[in-house]
Amino acid sequence: MHALACAASLLRRAMASLPQLGAIGCDTPLLAKILPNVYSKGYSTLLAPANEALIPPELLSSKTVWTPDRELGQYEDLVARVTNFHNEDNGFMVLDGDVFDVPIRKDIVHRVVRQLAKRQQGTHSTKTISEVSGTGRKPYKQKGTGRARHGTLRGCQFRGGATMHGPKPRSHAFKLQKKVRRLGLKIALSARTAEGKLCIFEDLEVPSHKTKNIVQYIKQMDDTKKVLLVDGGDIDKKLKLATQNLHYVNVIPSIGLNVYSILQHDTLVMTRDAVNRIVERMHTPISR
């Protein structure tokens, strides 16, 4: 309230002095007429001279900051370049916006990945008081000993006794709605697309089963540490033999594409057939 009162008082004084500002000249900025103490011929926080810069150029960084020319997650169809292992042009392909350009939600991805809990064996077990070996005889009489009263030596407070509220064998799996699992896959694909780490190939054909060919192809990719190759149908035998000795290259069919596999690899390579099958899968109505 005090700041508002001061601002109102300053504005009243400025408006009262306006009739007396005719002698200053019409070429003087209005800011100099009303607030002469703020405006100066040098730098100003409110008005900068036309021939002077607010920040010296030597203090500015020369590094170019990349900013996207559009906002992500707008469900817009994208156009992707189609190539192959030899980096040859094979036209373009339109990526559906409702699959490859959805808003990024980390909570959905976390829920989908947490489904890996069903891999736990769940064989952990502890013995209750009825399962611990030992006699059921009362250790000593109820009264007259001066000690605490006990009816068994198999209780949890004794050495070798039972475990109270301990784990028992169970399944750690939990259900997740189909639409949430489907949305998680869309988000993972959209994230790789937004990062520029989604490559569309015409096919995954290799000339031979030699591993050195795949190593050479991966070296040609920029800033790539781990690659996931996704084919539409069955994996080619030569490609499978060429990649099975590389820990940073994995090949799966489109039917096996999942969120966890995408997150484990920084680069995703999909064939044109694989993209069509994934889009068809995402557009299939969910059976209730």
In the chain, where the domains are located: 70-117+175-283, 123-141+148-170
pLDDT at 161: 94
pLDDT at position 220 is 87
Mean local confidence (pLDDT), 179-184? 95
pLDDT band, residue 221 (cuts 50/70/90):
confident
Mean pLDDT confidence for 149-163: 94
Please give the Cα distance from 95 to 77 (Å, whole number).
Answer: 6
Q: Name the least confident of 20-24, 38-42, 268-272.
A: 38-42
Mean pLDDT of 180-197: 94
- Look up the CATH number of domain 70-117+175-283: 3.40.1370.10
What is the pLDDT at residue 66?
43
Select the more confidently predicted residue: 193 or 31.
193
pLDDT of res. 56: 55
Query: Higher pLDDT residue, 212 or 10?
Result: 212
Which range (72-81, 184-193, 204-213, 267-276) has the least confidence? 72-81
Question: Residue 164 pLDDT > 70, yes or no?
Answer: yes
Encode pLDDT of 53-112 as tens digits.
445 555 544 544 444 566 777 888 889 999 998 888 888 999 999 999 999 999 999 999
Residue 44: pLDDT over 60: no
- What is the overall mean pLDDT for the chain? 81
Sheet holding 227-231, edge to edge: 92-95, 78-83, 198-201, 267-271, 227-231, 249-253
CB 93 within 8 A of CB 79: yes
pLDDT for residue 230 is more than 60: yes
In this predicted structure, what is the pLDDT of residue 34?
Answer: 44
Q: How far apart are CA 173 and CA 58, in angstroms?
A: 59
Average pLDDT over residues 103-128: 95
User: Which residues have C-beta within 8 Å of that of residue 280, sequence separation ≥ 6?
Assistant: none
- 19-28, 212-221, 241-250, range with the lowest pLDDT: 19-28
How far apart CA 268 and CA 263 sit, in angstroms, is: 10
